[in-house]
Structures are given as structure tokens and as C-alpha cells.
Amino acid sequence: MRYDFGSDNTAGMAPSALEGLIQANAGFVPSYGADAITARAADQIRQRLDADADVRFVFSGTAANAIALSMLTYPFEAVLAHNAAHVCTDETGAPGFFGQGVGLIGLPGFSGRIDPLALKAQLTEPEVGHRQPPAALSLTQATEYGAVYTEEELRHLIEPVKARGYGVHIDGARLANAAAAGFDLKDIARLGVDILVFGGAKAGASCVEALVLFDKSLARRLDNRLKQAGQTASKARTLAGPMLGLLESGDWEAGGAHANLMAQRLAAGIATRSPFVLAHPVESNTVFVRMPAEAHQRLKALGWACYQFDDGSVRFVCSWATQEEAVDELIAAIAGLN
């Protein structure tokens, strides 16, 4: 089975990330994040965001998202999110686990973007004692369907919830792809986002994500919270080192740009050479294709790892490591299904 397009998680570490790990591994340094490598990686993130934020490195996006949402809500409250968001579909109730009962309210919207009218309708719902009222908004950039919110689109979603005193979280597992597509990272802090998960693993690092707190009041006893959750790395430099390698080399952005370009190549080939249609606009590094189940099974039988997504389309994901030759081979395989 070929996993070239199964997910951006199927690719290994980018060379600069691996070199960052090797350099971080040298000698003896303070543990638990008190080292220069971790500090430099955090500074690189602050520079990109143009914000004085607290930064911590954790082992997974699921933990980062769930811990972030637990900091914005009480256990008897809920989080508003797109109904296809990772927190709703792929984290096995982690927000509720870390939040000791925090609920999720799914909202519709094309290509993973929350529909502003659906959000408005939810915000006008009366609060009653028998339901968990919303207290935070979770957004995904780029979305699970590869869409990239513009600054204006985010503002129309964030302003009404901030006006009600709600917190705002962004899942940035594919933030590098959004940035490569033209999204200005500096807008995140300007829009009033409270907590960001700054993606590393899908961008070519190891299993590392950065928890970025713009609202520094939320950082009170953060290290205690992370320790209890099993997210405090004793050898923190080995967690931050690969991220530092990506950021200082510029490969965090370059890898995202390459992945996006390969997705555009794949989408163009499918559109012109196959009988199938694209299910969503290709704005970042994912391509969704409408194909019958029989065609999907034939493609998998040919050795291509791909799976059916929530809306019934088949997803293909490009990464920093995707090769043009592999894209062209996949296009030919899909074209041969007709």
C-alpha cells in the first residue's frame, strides 16, 4: 500500500526538522523547557504571530486542542465548532475528558467553514438550565476540507462571540498550509483569538504542536495543568528542536507551499483527465473527489491509501514530502478507473 496521499501524517520528518533534533540533542541542558532550544522555538512562533504570547510545546494536537478548550469553558458549558471539525469528529471526546464534561455544539458550513448565519442562530438560542450553553468558539485554519478562512470571514465569526465574552480557539494543525495560501498569521492576535494551536507534526516536525496563549491570564498554573495531563516533556528540547529546525530554516512555510502546489497539480490532473469531480475548492493541501464506492475500492486495490471522508468524498492529502512523480502516477491511476 502506498501512503503518499493517505495523510500529511504519513510523511516523515523534514530534513531541517531532523537536523533540529540532532542539534538539540547535543550536550547537557536544563530540563522541562528551561533550555535555550525551547526558548528559541517559542520566539520564532512569537515573531511570526507578532504577539507577546505564552508558548508551550506538547505531544499532540488532540491534547493541545482539548486542553485549550478546557481553559475557555466550565464543565457545564459547551464549545461551538464546525460539525466536521477535528474536535467534534476525531478526538474521541477529548475536550469533554480534559474539560471534565465540556460539551460540543456542531455548526454547518460548506468546506468546513462555519456558516455565519448558523452561528448567529445558535447565539440567539435561549439559555436554559437543561442544556450546556456555549462559552467558546473553536475554528480550524485550514479547515478539515482544506478551506482557508480570510481575515474578514474570521472577523465575522469572532466578533459576535467576543461581544458575548466567549473565548476563541484556533486549531492550526495545518496553519502552515493556510499561511502558504496567503493567510496573514499576524491577523490571529489582531482578531482577538485567545488560544492557538500552532501545528508542527503535519508541517514536517515530529509529534509536536505549540500551545500559544495570547490571553496570558489563561497561563496561570498552565504548567501544572500540562503536567497533570501528561503533556510536560522532561527532555523538552527534543520536542522543540524539530519545530525550531523547521522555523529557523523557513521550511515550515516552504513545506506548506510545496504541499499546496502539489494539491493544485493533483486537482488539475483529476479535473482534466478523469471522469470525477472535485467535491471542494482546493485552497490548501487537501483534495476531495466525488467517486463511486466501487471506484474507490478499485483505487485502493491498486495500492493507493485514501479514505472516504465525512461527506462521502474521497480525500487525498499532499505534504512537504509529496513528489511530482507520485502526483502524476496517482492522476494516471484515477484516470484509469473510468
Say which CATH number the domain at 65 has. 3.40.640.10
259 with 237, same domain? no
> What pLDDT score does 338 carry?
76
pLDDT for 35 beyond 80: yes
Going by pLDDT thresholds of 50, 70 and 90, the confidence category of residue 161 is: very high
Residue 162 has pLDDT above 90, yes or no: yes
Segments forming the whole domain that contains residue 112: 15-249
For helices 151-163 and 116-123, the axis angle rounded to 10 degrees is: 0
Q: Cβ distance 297 to 278 under 8 Å? A: no
Is 5 a member of any domain?
no
Which run of H or of E encompasses 170? strand 167-172
Shared domain for 229 and 258, answered yes or no, is: no
Phi then psi for 126, rounded to 5 degrees? -70, 145
208 and 257 part of one domain: no
213 in the same domain as 200: yes
pLDDT confidence of residue 255: 98
- Find the mean pLDDT for residues 206-225: 95
Mean pLDDT, range 180-191, rounded to an integer = 98
Instruction: State whether 264 and 243 are in the same domain.
Output: no
Same domain, 176 and 259: no
- Is 7 part of a structural domain of the chain? no
- If asked whether residues 103 and 49 sit together in one domain, one would say yes
Residues 172 and 229 in one domain: yes
Q: Which residues pair with 56 in a beta bridge?
A: 211
Nearest to 267 by CA among 317, 218, 304, 232: 317
Which residues, at least 6 apart from 259, have a Cβ–Cβ distance to it below 8 Å? Answer: 8, 177, 180, 284, 285, 318, 319, 320, 322
Is residue 75 in some structural domain? yes
What integer is the mean pLDDT of 39-65? Answer: 98
User: Residue 15: CB partners within 8 Å, gap ≥ 6?
Assistant: 251
The Cα 335–Cα 82 span in angstroms is 33
- Helices and strands: H and E segment counts in the chain: 14, 11
Concatenate the DSSP letters of all residues of 184-199 into one string. -THHHHHTT-SEEEEE
User: What's the number of CA atoms in the CB half-sphere (13 Å) around residue 177?
Assistant: 34
Each residue of 242-252: pLDDT tens digit?
Answer: 999 999 999 99
* Mean pLDDT value of segment 90-118: 97
Q: How far apart are CA 140 and CA 82, in angstroms?
A: 8
Total tally of structural domains belonging to the chain: 2
Q: Is 300 exposed, middle or buried (0-12, 13-18, 19+ CB in 10 A)?
A: middle
Residues 153 and 202 in one domain: yes
Average pLDDT over residues 134-150: 98
Secondary structure of residue 255 in the 3-state scheme: helix
Decide which of 229, 249, 269 is a domain's last residue: 249
279 and 134 assigned to the same domain: no
Q: Are residues 235 and 145 in the same domain?
A: yes
- Determine, yes or no, domain membership for 6: no
Other beta carbons less than 10 A from residue 76's beta carbon: 14
Main-chain dihedrals φ then ψ at residue 279, nearest 5 degrees:
-85, -25
Provide the 10 A C-beta neighbour count for residue 131. Answer: 13
In the predicted model, is pLDDT for residue 110 greater than 80?
yes
Determine, yes or no, domain membership for 262: yes
What whole-number percentage of the chain has pLDDT above 90? 99
The pLDDT of residue 321: 98
Residues 188 and 300 in one domain: no
